[in-house]
Amino acid sequence: MSAPIHAPTVQFPLITPQHGGVNAVGALVPPLPASTVPIVHHESNGGVTMVTGARGRRRALLIAVRYRGDPSELFDGEKDVDVVKNYLLRSGYSAQEMMILTELGPPILFPTRNGIIQAIQWLMEGVQSGDRLFFYFAGRGGQVSDAQTKGDQWKDDTILPCDFRQTGMLDSDTLFQMMAHPLPLGSRLTCIFDSVHCNSPLDLAYTYASNGQLIEEKAAKVEMGKMVATVGISAIKDSPVEAAFHLGKGLWSMRQTGSQRKTREAMRQSMGDVVVLSPRFDSSWSYTSLGPLPPGTSMSRAIVGTLLAQPAQTFRNIIKNTKDIMMANQGKRRTQLSSSRPVALDGYFSC
């Protein structure tokens, strides 16, 4: 077996809040200014975050991966980055507060694995209470096994850099440790992952379906329904003893599942607020089942479109309206919201 291929380390020109650097078009970026952004203060209210005033800084990292020359090459990611960038500019961000990685810029700013890691380091550099960070990724996703830490059948979602065939993918554990774990109390990270075949790129503790239902609760209800059906069939076909056996087995399984879920939630906590919007795919979908996207129907364009049409929207409305657009254009593609703590879905979205 041949040894794995490792790409050479790229010396990436980091932009630091204190000293600035070089942005995505090669222009000098000054140190980041303080922006008029509310600091997020946390008050215990059933696990729901409450927001009050003060000021902090903003930063945004936007990434589009084309996979040029690869059989999985994509063609719309740079357009999606432009849509998101223009929305952020309308929302008060400045160009000096953004870094953009694409394969259409200078090679030193290509979205390689090492380049993405170092760009995330720039995004997180010096983050303080009150800061708001924004991360956008347009590209491919995948999965890797994580039997060692999460169980024999557990898989981590991943994102694919442009050189993933040589250097590997970035898994959800790595992304969480780089982006969510360092956040201090009172900071916020908003992410949009417009990535194929990647349901949970940060593997956060809480995930909400497009109807606003907590998916863990939904899974528990489905499991309970299956258990009740099994018990009922056993009572009819077999005997009360068999029915009691299936009932005990089902309750034990649900107890174990609940314990594992609590363990995963404990692993996925962050001092800051993290909110992720991402697509959710049916298990039958694959990379090749998408085909070209009709104009304006990538998830990011759907999100921006609904926000431009109605700027003040709740989390509940955003995931529903985005899902409606995606379902109308692509059938099975839905939207989900993940978070580091329980979300008040009737609270208003901001980035």
Q: For the chain, how long is the longest CA-to-CA vector?
A: 77
- pLDDT for res 73: 86
- pLDDT for res 16: 38
Q: Which residue(s) pair with 98 in the sheet?
A: 60
- pLDDT for res 153: 54
How far is 36 from 107, CA to CA, in rounded Å? 34
4 token code pair: 């794995």
- pLDDT for res 211: 81
User: Nearest Cα to 11, choosing from 159, 112, 138?
Assistant: 112
Q: Which amino acid is at 113?
A: R
> How many beta carbons lie within 10 A of that of residue 27, not counting itself?
9
- pLDDT for res 314: 92
User: Nearest Cα to 336, choosing from 318, 350, 348?
Assistant: 318
How far is 158 from 142, CA to CA, in rounded Å? 5
**Cα 125 versus chain centre, distance:** 20
> How many beta carbons lie within 10 A of that of residue 164, not counting itself?
21
Return the percent helix, strand and coil in the chain, to nearest 5: 35, 20, 45
User: Nearest Cα to 138, choosing from 210, 79, 69, 71?
Assistant: 79
Check if CATH label 3.40.50.2000 holds for domain 34-205+268-339: no
201 token code pair: 């790129």
How far is 204 from 79, CA to CA, in rounded Å? 28
- pLDDT for res 210: 79
- pLDDT tens, residue order, the chain (351 aa): 434 333 333 333 333 334 444 443 333 343 444 443 433 333 333 444 434 334 689 999 999 999 999 887 888 889 999 999 999 999 999 999 999 999 998 999 999 999 999 999 999 999 999 999 999 999 988 888 764 544 445 578 899 999 999 999 999 999 999 999 999 999 999 999 988 666 678 888 888 987 888 875 445 444 544 444 454 555 545 555 565 555 555 555 555 555 555 555 555 568 999 999 988 764 433 333 334 444 445 788 889 988 988 888 999 999 888 888 877 766 556 788 999 888 888 988 888
In this structure, what DSSP letter does residue 180 have? I
User: CA angle 281-282-288, nearest 5°?
Assistant: 75
Let me know if 301 is exposed, middle or buried by CB neighbors in 10 A (0-12, 13-18, 19+).
buried
How far is 101 from 200, CA to CA, in rounded Å? 22
